[in-house]
């Protein structure tokens, strides 16, 4: 049986595709840690929205793309993930649908547990995007990756608006 632990990271380094090792403080590792946290938060959002199959299906597809983005980042921008352009278009359409008639405004999270969770994921998406821009300065990433991360945070904001409106409509 293979063990989960390898002990190879005990000295503060981690492996990248191709076998090279870098500090756990490397920009790529930091960015991937932020994306990993975002992925976990989106999983929490999915679990809380279990009755909304269409949204949950989209969130799961986003999670799968986030995993591909992590691979792209770890490979220093090599091997652009498939499906990002199509997902960006889908996120734009969903954002437009959810935010119809709404203009950008800051929101106070907490209308519902689900809406607050989406806001936490949105904030993490913004942090992950900023870390990716830092990586991009040293290891150029695919433009579609950067666009996807920006559209993702927009979509999560619109989803939170939609959930907030759903809460307001309840008796």
**pLDDT per position as a tens digit, 4-33:** 888 878 888 888 888 888 888 899 999 999
What is the separation of C-alpha 146 from the centre of its chain, rounded to a whole number of angstroms?
11
Question: For position 104, what pLDDT does the model report?
Answer: 57
Tell whether the model's pLDDT for residue 169 goes beyond 70. no
The model's pTM is 0.90
Q: Are 117 and 45 in contact (CB under 8 A)?
A: yes
> Domain 24-95+108-169 carries which CATH code?
1.20.1200.10
Average pLDDT of span 61-81: 95
DSSP secondary structure letter of residue 79: S
| Residue 100 in tokens | 């119809």
**pLDDT per position as a tens digit, 93-110:** 999 999 876 555 666 677
Domain ranges of the chain: 24-95+108-169
3-state class of 139 per DSSP?
Answer: coil
Cβ partners under 8 Å of residue 140, min gap 6: 77
Tell whether the model's pLDDT for residue 167 goes beyond 60. no
Question: For position 9, what pLDDT does the model report?
Answer: 80
Tell me the pLDDT of the chain averaged across its residues: 90
- Distance, in Å, from the CA atom of 18 to the CA atom of 35, rounded to the nearest integer, reads 21
Instruction: Give phi and psi for 15, each to the nearest 5.
Output: -90, 145
Question: For position 171, what pLDDT does the model report?
Answer: 39
Which residue in 111, 95, 92 sits closest to 103, CA to CA? Answer: 95
């Amino acid at each position: 049986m293979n063990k989960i632990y390898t002990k190879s990271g005990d000295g503060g380094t981690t492996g990248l595709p191709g076998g090279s090792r870098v500090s756990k403080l490397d920009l790529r590792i930091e960015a991937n840690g932020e994306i990993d946290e975002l992925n976990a938060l989106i999983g929490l959002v999915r679990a809380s929205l279990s009755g909304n199959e269409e949204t949950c299906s989209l969130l799961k597809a986003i999670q799968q793309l986030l995993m591909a983005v992590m691979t792209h980042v770890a490979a220093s921008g090599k091997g652009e993930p498939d499906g990002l352009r199509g997902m960006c278009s889908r996120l734009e359409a969903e954002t437009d649908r959810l935010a119809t008639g709404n203009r950008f405004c800051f929101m106070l999270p907490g209308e519902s547990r689900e809406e607050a969770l989406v806001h936490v994921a949105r904030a993490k998406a913004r942090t992950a995007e900023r870390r990716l821009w830092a990586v991009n300065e040293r290891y150029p990433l695919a433009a579609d990756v950067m666009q996807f991360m920006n559209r993702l945070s927009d979509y999560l904001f619109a989803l939170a608006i939609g959930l907030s409106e759903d809460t307001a409509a309840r008796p």
